[in-house]
Structure 1
Amino acid sequence: MPDSARHTAFLVLRHLSSNRHTLDTVLDKTITAAKITSRRDRHFISALAHGTLRWQGRLDWILDQVSSRPVQKINPDVRHILRLGLFQILFMDRVPVSAAVNTSVDLARTRVGPKVTGFVNAVLRNAIRHQDTLSFPDPSREPIASIAAELSFPVWMIKRWVAQMGYEETAAMCRATNEIAPLTLRTNLLQNNRQELMARLQAAKENPVPTPCSSLGIRLGRTHHSIPELPGFGDGAFQVQDEAAQLVTFILDPQPGEKILDACAGLGGKTGHIAQKMKNTGKITAVDFQSEKLTRLHREMRRLGVTIVSSRTADLNKPSAVSPLGSFDRILLDAPCSGMGVLRRHPDAKWRHTARTLSKMAERQRRMLRYLSRSVEPGGILVYAVCSTEPEENKDVIDHFLHHHPNFKLTPASSLLPKAARHITDSDGFFRSFVHRHGMDGFFIARLQKSHAAES
């Protein structure tokens, strides 16, 4: 039998290549199905899957040089095994090279058959012999191909980013995206403050650091605990949330006693923050089209001590689903998007998306904004947020919306943010974060206000 952890990582990659599920979903389901209970093995499987996908472009470039056949013509299962093996050889210092090769050969024998074991062994050992002399495109002659191959991104992404920000900044963003994202917590002020939570974490021999921009955030380095084992988790002292995502609710600025709609609420990361800002008074309606997410959301609200959230399962792409929700003082649309701003957390998205993805997402985002705008009370606030840095999904969506909805205006977000975060807003009044500039996920946030006059 092949090594169980590596075999599970192989199954994750195999599953991802044949459907549209996300890496996190597939990891969770595959590890559970394999009955992997060891924390060490679960961590190793996650590291293998994330790392192989993060560096897939670079791995394939190398495999093309050390294989007797082009990588795209290799049997897909064999290709997954070669990528896993090569990733361990090049990027996992604690894995002996011999172990990386031998376990890959065993995996090939079990999953594909004995006839391919010689090929797998030869390719990986060839990579080991020549790893110091491998060549990449010349950056002076082929700068786009060079960045794409060395830093492991699709060529179409590099082309568009170079057009937007130039070669040097594109390379900087790619390098930052290839870093493993930190674990960031958001303090739940309903239960404690940041200083108290940091003290609890320090007592547990963690190394908490306050986030520079969010006044509620705490960043952890290499943690000694799983998230449920961290001090404060059981009594709702925090939620896991990147610093950029924390700033969304500051811009929404919900007030105690108001009626708030958290559209596309998901698992409740921003729902919990909204309730906290409202001091757990008023009413929040959390909507998502997946009922299982809302079940988990309610469980999360109980952990946090939040009592003002009700939920509805609805597809907000349909106007008939929006109108029954009623009207609200403030609406947050954390819209479905390409996730191009969070590729460091979801490297599988690099290889799943195409340029067409952006235009399809933008159509959906414009539609949801249009439908939800009808549910904003006169004088109310509509906040649009996406974890994408792409113009089609951010400024273009807002420009289109404002052109067709003159009863809304863009209001600057800067004054609502913690002082340390105000520099992240641009001259148009939008919040725009980038991983390489700000050390947080890439986000776009726009704050819109409806006029007090009746709609025409």
Structure 2
Amino acid sequence: MTPAARLSAAIEVLGDIETRRRPATDALKDWGLSHRFAGSKDRAAIASLVYDSLRRKASAAWVMGENTPRAVVLGMLVLQRGLSFADIARLFSGERFAPEPVTGEERARIEAADLKNAPAPVAGDFPDWIEPSLRAFFGDDLVPELQALTARAPLDLRVNALKVDSRSEAHDALPHLGAVQTPLSPWGLRIQPGEDGRGPAVQSEPEFIKGWIEIQDEGSQLAAILSGVQPDEQVVDLCAGGGGKTLALAAMMNNHGQLYATDSDARRLAPIHERVTRAGIRNLQIRTPRARADAVGDLDGKMDCVVVDAPCTGIGTWRRNPDAKWRLRPGSLDVRRNEQAAVLDRAGALVKPGGRIIYITCSILPEENDDAVAAFLERTDGFAAVPVAEVLERAEMEKLAPLVRNTRHGLQMTPLKTGTDGFYVAVLRKS
């Protein structure tokens, strides 16, 4: 397919997403099934165009004066990819399989594209109903912070200390991937996405199959590190899901002590079994919930540390899931807040005196972060938030101090400040 034909396909997919109110992955999959002549490189390029358009949907529509798929693609090519009018006009030629030629009105808007006077939800490309919460937290940094969430995310890897003696050993075994060491996590490697937005097929690498590396954002790695778990501790990962943080915690414990992984949804735990075997983990019990039985009911009051990677809106991962921002609704936030309250209460019952809860979200909304923690502290006796300086010292991560945003009860990582996804971490100690 020509570059122009790929643009036409992206406009078609965006139209499907808009009309049927469906996730981008579903629309792209259906397009590929109905256009089997398109090769893998074509499908990847079309997906990249679609996701870049969704990243800049509000600002692209604003500069073009309308919210059609064509207008959004045109605006994205200017704002996200930096194309000139001449470059765009060559692609929008109206020739075979190419989009219709650029009109005079479109040319004027392309050449005058500027977000200087755009309202914050437009300049930052986010739903306007969350602006009050975000502005209260970020203040004058609101637009730069949210613009950082419109960029493409790198592919981060975590080197498994149970299989490899050093990060350098894994790095040196993968020279063809172009990986560099992450600046903050001592076990991270980073690969920048290619022009089509894709990274290499890491899962097919021998080092991945042998368990040397796992795919994990540096922010997620740091959240695990900030738990400060030790090899002799009893630890529960209460919302383990596919096991990303579980594996990181096991490596920190060096296969000593006891680690338990569970999740309220047994289906989310399915991938963890294969990953645990590949990673060489021996100190883990996977507790799969059955019917209405509590999978960790026998552990109440016995745990040194309970990690709560809480269900949340996922706003901090918008770099990777740009279509999720436009499907976010106030009702979904209310659901997540109720789930966060429930899982925090369950964690509180598991912790022994002197133990701690590590509360983590991949969100930047105060309602899911400090507000959730404050509500837990108000309704639960015997817990207090550990000062951020103490959390960083215990984890030997004092270098994070000037980069994270300190909050009332925890800390916030963001793409703008830490170059990671947007993760919130609070440590709550039981007296």
Q: Distance in 1 between matches of 2:405 and 2:75?
A: 41
Structure 1 unaligned blocks of 5 or more: 66-70, 72-78, 108-119, 140-144, 452-456
Q: Secondary structure at the match of 2:100?
A: helix
Per the alignment, residue 427 of structure 2 pairs with 447
Per the alignment, residue 284 of structure 1 pairs with 259
- CA-CA distance at 1:90 after TM superposition: 6.4
Per the alignment, residue 147 of structure 1 pairs with 120
Alignment deviations for residues 314-364 of structure 1 (CA, whole Å, 9 cap, x no partner): 49xx99646646333321110111222222222122212245543442232
Per the alignment, residue 184 of structure 2 pairs with 213
Q: Does residue 260 of structure 1 match 2:235?
A: yes
Specify which of 396, 420, 434 is matched with residue 399 of structure 2: 420
- CA-CA distance at 1:270 after TM superposition: 0.4
Q: 5 Å matches for 1:35-434? A: 38-64=39-65, 71=67, 79-80=68-69, 83-84=72-73, 87-88=76-77, 91=80, 97-100=89-92, 102=94, 121=100, 124-126=102-104, 128-134=106-112, 139=117, 145-167=118-140, 169-192=141-164, 193-202=166-175, 204=176, 206-222=177-193, 225-230=200-205, 232-314=207-289, 321=294, 324=297, 326-327=299-300, 328-412=303-387, 413-417=391-395, 418-423=397-402, 424=404, 426=406, 428=408, 430-434=410-414
Q: Secondary structure at the match of 2:260?
A: strand
Whichever residue aligns with residue 46 of structure 1, its letter is A
Per the alignment, residue 14 of structure 1 pairs with 16
Q: Secondary structure at the match of 1:196?
A: helix
Q: Distance in 2 between matches of 1:449 and 1:28?
A: 46
Q: Secondary structure at the match of 2:317?
A: coil
Using the size of structure 1 for normalisation, the TM-score is 0.77
- Please tell me whether the aligned partners of residues 322 and 371 of structure 1 are also in contact (alpha carbons under 8 angstroms): no
Q: Distance in 1 between matches of 2:22 and 2:297?
A: 31
- Please tell me whether the aligned partners of residues 235 and 304 of structure 2 are also in contact (alpha carbons under 8 angstroms): yes
- CA-CA distance at 1:91 after TM superposition: 4.7
- Please tell me whether the aligned partners of residues 434 and 441 of structure 1 are also in contact (alpha carbons under 8 angstroms): yes
Aligned residue pairs, count: 413
Q: Secondary structure at the match of 2:364?
A: coil
Alignment deviations for residues 91-126 of structure 1 (CA, whole Å, 9 cap, x no partner): 5559864545659x959xxxxxxxxxxxx737x544
Q: Distance in 2 between matches of 1:320 and 1:19?
A: 36
- Please tell me whether the aligned partners of residues 13 and 49 of structure 1 are also in contact (alpha carbons under 8 angstroms): no
- Please tell me whether the aligned partners of residues 85 and 101 of structure 1 are also in contact (alpha carbons under 8 angstroms): no
Q: Distance in 2 between matches of 1:198 and 1:27?
A: 36
Pick closer, same or farther for the CA change 1:264–1:29 going to 2, 3 Å: farther
Per the alignment, residue 115 of structure 1 pairs with none
- CA-CA distance at 1:180 after TM superposition: 1.2
Per the alignment, residue 436 of structure 1 pairs with 416
Q: Secondary structure at the match of 2:315?
A: coil
- Please tell me whether the aligned partners of residues 186 and 241 of structure 1 are also in contact (alpha carbons under 8 angstroms): yes
- Please tell me whether the aligned partners of residues 379 and 450 of structure 1 are also in contact (alpha carbons under 8 angstroms): yes
Pick closer, same or farther for the CA change 1:165–1:248 going to 2, 3 Å: closer
Structure 2 unaligned blocks of 5 or more: none
375-384 vs 262-271, which moves further? 375-384
Name the Cα RMSD after superposition: 3.6
- CA-CA distance at 1:11 after TM superposition: 4.4
Alignment deviations for residues 188-236 of structure 1 (CA, whole Å, 9 cap, x no partner): 101112111121223x2x3332222211112222467322245621211
- CA-CA distance at 1:425 after TM superposition: 6.5
Q: Distance in 2 between matches of 1:13 and 1:329?
A: 51
Q: Distance in 2 between matches of 1:46 and 1:419?
A: 39
- Please tell me whether the aligned partners of residues 187 and 197 of structure 1 are also in contact (alpha carbons under 8 angstroms): yes
- Please tell me whether the aligned partners of residues 85 and 100 of structure 1 are also in contact (alpha carbons under 8 angstroms): no
Whichever residue aligns with residue 398 of structure 2, its letter is K
Q: Secondary structure at the match of 2:240?
A: coil
- Please tell me whether the aligned partners of residues 411 and 447 of structure 1 are also in contact (alpha carbons under 8 angstroms): yes
Using the size of structure 2 for normalisation, the TM-score is 0.81
- Please tell me whether the aligned partners of residues 250 and 416 of structure 1 are also in contact (alpha carbons under 8 angstroms): no
Q: Distance in 1 between matches of 2:392 and 2:30?
A: 43
Q: Percent identity?
A: 26
Q: Distance in 2 between matches of 1:302 and 1:100?
A: 51
- CA-CA distance at 1:405 after TM superposition: 1.3
386-395 vs 299-308, which moves further? 299-308
Q: Secondary structure at the match of 1:121?
A: coil
Q: Secondary structure at the match of 1:233?
A: helix
- Please tell me whether the aligned partners of residues 259 and 283 of structure 1 are also in contact (alpha carbons under 8 angstroms): yes
